[in-house]
Amino acid sequence: MSSIAASDEQASTKAAAKATRAKVIQPAWVRALHWTNAFAMVLMIMSGWQIYNASPLFGFTFSSSITLGGWLGGGLLWHFAAMWLLMVNGLIYLALGLATGRFRKKLLPITREGVLADTKAALTGKLSHEDLTKYNYVQKLLYAGIIVVGIVIVLSGLAIWKPVQLQYLTAMFGGYEAARYVHFFCMAAIVAFMVVHVVLALLVPKSLRAMIVGR
């Protein structure tokens, strides 16, 4: 009698635990890596703008109110310190994303039809955000795309940093000067992504909540 009750109880606890687990939208490792990445990215971008200002590629510079480091030397110190955080964090993310199958499950497949249909739905305000565990095709495309941009910005950064020791990498980007432009445009893409990403997270607050508390 008591054993049956106990096993019943166990079963219901298990079911409850399973339900809770199912409700977890963003697992803890994703959340930790996401916010670490956000912090490192902001440091990299603001110090990168400081470095850019020393020798601008285009006819503009970034206001000193949004740069980090105070002068070129300070910007470089920040950039080459935050890069370790960004790279180590990014490598862990890529490793876990591949090993756990998260990338495959969450981001694939990306179909042209799906992207077009979801873009249309989004623009007409008909895109549902009911189930946050499933990304729509626009999300899939953007999240997969930003991972690729993240890889390219790190590689182009290494190509600029070490054009002699890593000269094959630098050559792959079309040489030192070309690598600087690649690095800049990747930054621009990430900033554009961040703007859209933050605005949408604020428009769908439960997605922001999920990235903070997990559900």
Partner 1 sequence: MGRLRNLLIPGVDKSLLLKDAVKTMPDLTRRRFISGGASLGALTLLTGCDVTDSFSAEEMLKQVSKFNDGVQAWMFNPDAMAPTFPESAITKPFPFNAYYSLDEAPEIEAKDWKLEVRGLVENKKSWTLEELYKLPQVKQVTRHICVEGWSAIGSWTGTPLRDFLKIVGADTRAKYVWFQCADKDGYNSPLDMRSALHAQTQMTFKFGDEILPRAYGFPMKIRVPTKLGFKNPKYVLSMEVTNDYKGGFWEDQGYNSFSGS
Interface residues with partner 1 (CB under 8 A) are 42-43, 46, 51-52, 54-55, 64, 67-74, 76-78, 80-81, 84, 160-165, 167, 171, 176-177, 180
Shorter beta-carbon distance to partner 1: residue 73 or 101: 73
- For the CB of residue 161, give the shortest distance to partner 1 in the complex, in Å: 8
Distance, in Å, from the CA atom of 55 to the CA atom of 73, rounded to the nearest integer, reads 13
Shorter beta-carbon distance to partner 1: residue 46 or 155: 46
- For the CB of residue 40, give the shortest distance to partner 1 in the complex, in Å: 12
Shorter beta-carbon distance to partner 1: residue 35 or 71: 71
- For the CB of residue 172, give the shortest distance to partner 1 in the complex, in Å: 13
CB distance 62 to 53 below 8 Å: yes
- For the CB of residue 100, give the shortest distance to partner 1 in the complex, in Å: 30
Shorter beta-carbon distance to partner 1: residue 161 or 185: 161
Residue 120, Cβ neighbours under 10 Å: how many? 12
Shorter beta-carbon distance to partner 1: residue 39 or 143: 39
- For the CB of residue 78, give the shortest distance to partner 1 in the complex, in Å: 7
- For the CB of residue 163, give the shortest distance to partner 1 in the complex, in Å: 5
Shorter beta-carbon distance to partner 1: residue 82 or 141: 82
